[in-house]
């Protein structure tokens, strides 16, 4: 299929891009790598009047380190992260997750900011970054604001972005030397969207212990304090101490009521926990 006819603009500065996004006489969509938006355009699931290409904006490709975080521009690609072209402050979590996204051709063009803005429940970055405690930096006409990743996605393909706002960067906390993490996704074959995602971060030096259940067909389920999920245990039997009843209750509340699907999510979270203590 082919997309509906639309106008195309490739602004050279952020102010121009945001002005285009604020137009109230047209349906405007931003595009960066286009690896998710492109197929939706072709299937006519999305029918914009104007497509605004962000790839000429140098501000969205910058990477900056602060004493406690890494700020990654929204147009940094999955391949940039996979290949180590940006610093890794996560003890291997970022490049490992990037390496498992779709196929190399997709990773060459797909961007971290575009993945978050697309808000697909099965996307790897949403679950991973929520587990890491990352936040989204949003550029608005009135300035910048910061939203935690778990609050940025408000529904399927829905985000906290207001009209005219752009994802500028992702702020990722630096993990301590003792931090451990696990990320596991269930899919029928490599490259496909996940059927379930489990992510765990244990960073005792920063008093951080988080767990995330992703690919639930809604926003991820985030346990900001995962102590209860694992019965308060922190040792080698972390996976074995998983409180399945608590997890099933959380899945029920998220609308995942099928027992088989619940079990798949429990397995993904347990295997992520096993990775975190391996």
Write the CATH number for 32: 3.30.43.10
Whether residue 73 sits in one domain with residue 38: no
- Report yes or no on 90 lying in a domain: yes
Q: What is the pLDDT of residue 232?
A: 72
Q: What is the pLDDT of residue 239?
A: 67
Q: What is the pLDDT of residue 72?
A: 98
% residues pLDDT > 90 (the chain): 87
Whether residue 264 sits in one domain with residue 186: yes
Question: How many CB atoms lie under 10 A from the CB of residue 146?
Answer: 11
Domain hosting 13: range is: 7-53
- Report yes or no on 243 lying in a domain: yes
Whether residue 65 sits in one domain with residue 154: yes
Q: What is the pLDDT of residue 189?
A: 83
Whether residue 69 sits in one domain with residue 162: yes
E strands, 149-214, in order: 153-155, 158-159, 166-173, 180-186, 196-203, 208-214
Q: What is the pLDDT of residue 86?
A: 96
Q: What is the pLDDT of residue 241?
A: 87
pLDDT in tens, 84-115: 999 999 999 999 999 999 999 999 999 999 99
- Return all residues near 155 (Cβ < 8 A) that are at least 6 apart: 119, 218, 219
Whether residue 109 sits in one domain with residue 38: no
Q: State the pTM of this model.
A: 0.94
CA 56, CA 155: separation in Å to the nearest integer? 29
CA 169, CA 188: separation in Å to the nearest integer? 32
Which of 47, 49, 17, 15 has the alpha carbon at shortest distance from 32?
A: 17
Number of domains in the chain: 3
- Give the pLDDT band of residue 2 (cuts 50, 70, 90): confident
Which is it for strands 50-53 and 7-9: parallel, antiparallel or unpaired? parallel
- Given a cut of 60, whether residue 243 has pLDDT beyond it is yes
Q: What is the pLDDT of residue 155?
A: 93
- Report yes or no on 2 lying in a domain: no
pLDDT in tens, 147-176: 999 999 999 999 999 988 999 999 999 999
pLDDT in tens, 69-87: 999 999 999 999 999 999 9
- Return all residues near 16 (Cβ < 8 A) that are at least 6 apart: none
- Report yes or no on 260 lying in a domain: yes
- Give the pLDDT band of residue 10 (cuts 50, 70, 90): very high
What is each CA distance from 162 to 11, 53, 126, 131, in whole angstroms? 20, 18, 19, 25
- Return all residues near 84 (Cβ < 8 A) that are at least 6 apart: 95
Whether residue 73 sits in one domain with residue 15: no
Whether residue 187 sits in one domain with residue 163: no
Task: Tell me what the pLDDT averaged over the chain comes to.
Answer: 93
pLDDT in tens, 49-73: 999 999 999 999 999 999 999 999 9
- Given a cut of 70, whether residue 139 has pLDDT beyond it is yes
In the three-class reduction of DSSP (H, G, I as helix; E, B as strand; rest coil), residue 2 is classed as coil
Q: What is the DSSP letter of 91?
A: T
Whether residue 165 sits in one domain with residue 63: yes
- Report yes or no on 1 lying in a domain: no
Q: What is the pLDDT of residue 163?
A: 86
Q: What is the pLDDT of residue 188?
A: 86
Residue 183 phi/psi, 5° resolution? -145, 125
Residue 32 phi/psi, 5° resolution? -120, -90
Which of 100, 136, 144 has the alpha carbon at shortest distance from 118?
A: 136
Whether residue 78 sits in one domain with residue 131: yes
CATH of the domain at 127: 3.30.465.10
pLDDT in tens, 196-241: 999 999 999 999 999 999 999 899 999 999 988 987 766 556 767 8
Whether residue 89 sits in one domain with residue 125: yes
- Given a cut of 70, whether residue 183 has pLDDT beyond it is yes
List the Cα angle 204/150/98 in 5-degree steps: 75
Which of 123, 109, 60, 113 has the alpha carbon at shortest distance from 80?
A: 109
- Report yes or no on 198 lying in a domain: yes
Whether residue 268 sits in one domain with residue 255: yes
């Amino acid at each position: 299929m082919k997309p509906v006819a639309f106008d195309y603009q490739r602004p050279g500065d952020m102010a121009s891009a945001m002005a285009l996004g604020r137009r109230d006489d047209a349906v405007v969509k931003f595009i960066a790598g286009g690896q998710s938006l492109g197929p939706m355009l072709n299937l006519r699931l999305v029918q914009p009047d104007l497509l605004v290409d962000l790839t000429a904006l140098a501000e969205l490709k910058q990477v900056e380190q602060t004493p406690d975080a890494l700020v990654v521009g929204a147009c940094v690609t999955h391949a940039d992260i996979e290949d180590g072209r940006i610093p890794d402050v996560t003890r291997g979590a970022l490049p490992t997750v990037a390496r498992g996204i779709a196929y190399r051709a997709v990773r060459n063009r797909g961007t971290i900011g575009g993945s978050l803005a697309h808000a697909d429940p099965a996307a790897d970055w949403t679950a991973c970054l929520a587990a890491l405690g990352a936040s989204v930096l949003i550029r608005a006409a009135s300035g910048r604001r910061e939203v935690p990743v778990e609050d940025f996605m408000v529904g399927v393909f829905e985000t906290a972005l207001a009209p005219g706002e752009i994802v500028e960067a992702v702020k990722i906390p630096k993990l301590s030397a003792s931090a451990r993490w696990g990320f596991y996704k269930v899919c029928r074959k490599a490259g496909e969207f996940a059927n379930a995602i489990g992510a765990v971060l244990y960073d005792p030096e920063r008093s951080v212990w988080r767990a995330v259940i992703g690919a639930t067909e809604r926003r991820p389920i985030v346990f900001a304090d995962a102590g209860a999920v694992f019965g308060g245990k922190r040792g080698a039997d972390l996976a074995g101490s998983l409180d399945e009843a608590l997890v099933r209750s959380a899945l029920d509340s998220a609308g995942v009521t099928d027992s088989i699907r619940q079990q798949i999510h429990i397995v993904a979270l347990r295997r992520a926990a096993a990775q975190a203590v391996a």
